[in-house]
Structure 1
Amino acid sequence: MDPATLPPDTEIGRVALTVAELSSTVDFYRDVVGLHVLNSDGDRTVLGLDGQELLVLKYRPNAPSREASATGLYHVAFRVPSRAALGDALQRINSEWTLDGASDHGVSEALYLSDPAGNGVEIYRDFPRASWEETPSGLVEMVTDPLDTQAVAAAATGKQSMPVDSDIGHVHLDVSSVETARAFYADALGLRVRATYDGAVFLAAGDYHHHIGANVWQRRSTPHSGQGLAWFEIRLPDEATLHATQKRLRQSDYAVSETDTGLTVHDGDGIELRLRT
């Protein structure tokens, strides 16, 4: 493996959102997305599955709304293990919420919606990797075709929560510049570019289709503050990888802070990334 890239077993950890209204947001992620409330202490609620923390909601009643020009979250993507689980998610959305869109991406089937605060949410399942197409240059071929929602709905089993082996498969960001995102997430952090489209780049550890997406479709230009994405996490397989990543980031002139659980760094748009094993 190239020592300047992150290992294939790197994965997305927790995602934290700042919200000004807590109860309706908790209800959404529990009843629509299908997570479980793991703990809540009044100004912080953690949701996940089978004890695994996935989403942290930070209650800040006076937090201003995210400005239209602010970078930050495009969507957080929850990955389920099967079409049946995706069908169950579609059933919950149709019963409790509103579906914003649905796509077949060639590598995955995806449902799109927004939480009560307007944060983008994707729920998806991957096709088997053997079926993924590659471009002549070795990138992954992703498309955006209509999803056969009737077939997905027909696979539903009626379960009201995600399977325990679901996780956050990727985080997609609104950024000010594709070049700025690529400089941080590929050149400094060590993800591989897996696909590029007009105004977007998709990056991953190993051969996954993407752990990070970054686009300029909303023409964002100012650092994020207020409601929305507070931080997100990437989990690395071991301490050696963590230290090597810290060295690369500092050599690229990104300020890295050490914490009790790992490292904290901000990308070129000021989006907070936490790294831990």
Structure 2
Amino acid sequence: MIRLEGLCKLENKFFEKPATYVGEVNINVTDLESSLSFYEQVIGFSVLEKTGDKAVLTADGKTPLLTLMQPKDVVPKEGRTTGLFHFAILLPSRADLSSFIKHVARAGARLGASDHLVSEALYLNDPDGNGIEVYHDRPSNEWSWSDGQVAMSTEPLDADSLVAESDKAWNGLPNGTVMGHIHLHVANLKSTKSFYIDGLGFQVVTNYPGALFTSTADYHHHIGLNIWNGENVPAPSENSVGLNWYSLVFPDEQSRGEKVKNLENQGVTVRKEHDAYIVKDPSENEIHMQLAR
């Protein structure tokens, strides 16, 4: 047990200082109650806070990971736009993913599955078509790096092995679950790269056809960026199902301040709101730049 806890603590380096990582994702849905039922019963979140048109969801009872919003004039998910491809929920262990795959199979959810070499992942959509990945990471000392690039692929998942990994019952998202990464549709990779790399300080760790995968602290990726919906596609309507905003958690004020200056030097508008700086990338994806607590 001590050895396993040590490994878990070691791998948390990708989601604590000095890394910069995704903290929370905020999305629009068409029917809050229906979506809430899905996210509680199928995904395994619990409710941290709820009002008439908003529900804040958590895995540990204190940390917001996902917020659902139901605008009064919400419209269904729009096709061929920028915005959310999927958000990715990172489970602490392979045993947790084993419990989850059996749980969602019993729930009748339609699943996709892939082995990405660095991780094993399951894919599904919420009732509105918002994309979700649920995954676990292989130990980082098993990842293969060359010239600053990490080897990732999309291979068939060994589902039989995953199912056999654990006989533990699924009791909802376990403590230690984090928002592992976000993957976005963007309009142009050149301007996107300038924003995220030169502006926000991420590194490109994998080049993929029509996509970039970026991270800090040598993670396999905190942010995926693709043009698979087409180049120069428009942003969705503000009231469309999909992404409202996501947060990036910076280790300290100095680091965040440097990135704000970088963006302003690029001509990007950055505004201060409460304890966060708000900015939009070149494809109108909104980011809340927050500090680690």
Scaled to the shorter chain, the TM-score interval is: over 0.9
Residue identity opposite 2:256 in structure 1 = L
1:227, CA displacement in angstroms? 1.4
Q: Deviations over 1:42-91 (max 9, x none)?
A: 11100012211100111124211232121100000000011111012112
> 3-state DSSP class of the match of 1:230?
strand
Written as runs of structure 1 = structure 2, the 5 A alignment for 1:107-256 is 107-135=118-146, 137-156=147-166, 157-219=168-230, 221-225=233-237, 226-256=240-270
> Where does residue 32 of structure 1 map in the other structure?
42
Q: Which runs of 5+ in 1 are unaligned?
A: 1-6
**C-alpha separation in 2, matches of 1:92 and 1:115:** 16
**C-alpha separation in 2, matches of 1:155 and 1:230:** 36
**C-alpha separation in 1, matches of 2:72 and 2:47:** 20
Q: Aligned match of 2:81 in 36, 48, 70?
A: 70
Q: Deviations over 1:172-227 (max 9, x none)?
A: 00111222221211121110000001100000012000000011112260012211
TM-score norm. by structure 1 comes to: 0.94
> Where does residue 13 of structure 2 map in the other structure?
none
**C-alpha separation in 2, matches of 1:27 and 1:271:** 27
Residue identity opposite 1:274 in structure 2 = H
Runs of 4+ residues deviating >4 angstroms? none
Residue identity opposite 1:9 in structure 2 = A
Q: Deviations over 1:102-140 (max 9, x none)?
A: 1111100000001100010000000001100113x2210
Q: Deviations over 1:152-180 (max 9, x none)?
A: 11224112211110010000001112222
1:92, CA displacement in angstroms? 2.0
2:250/2:289 contact within 8 Å kept: yes
TM-score norm. by structure 2 comes to: 0.89
1:19/1:61 contact within 8 Å kept: no
Q: Which runs of 5+ in 2 are unaligned?
A: 1-16
1:231/1:274 contact within 8 Å kept: yes
2:31 corresponds to 1:17: no
> 3-state DSSP class of the match of 1:145?
coil
1:236/1:276 contact within 8 Å kept: yes
> Where does residue 258 of structure 1 map in the other structure?
272
1:98, CA displacement in angstroms? 2.1
> Where does residue 64 of structure 2 map in the other structure?
53
> 3-state DSSP class of the match of 1:77?
strand
1:33, CA displacement in angstroms? 1.3
> 3-state DSSP class of the match of 1:146?
coil
Task: Give the total of aligned pairs.
Answer: 270
Give the aligned CA root-mean-square deviation in angstroms.
1.3
Residue identity opposite 1:31 in structure 2 = Q
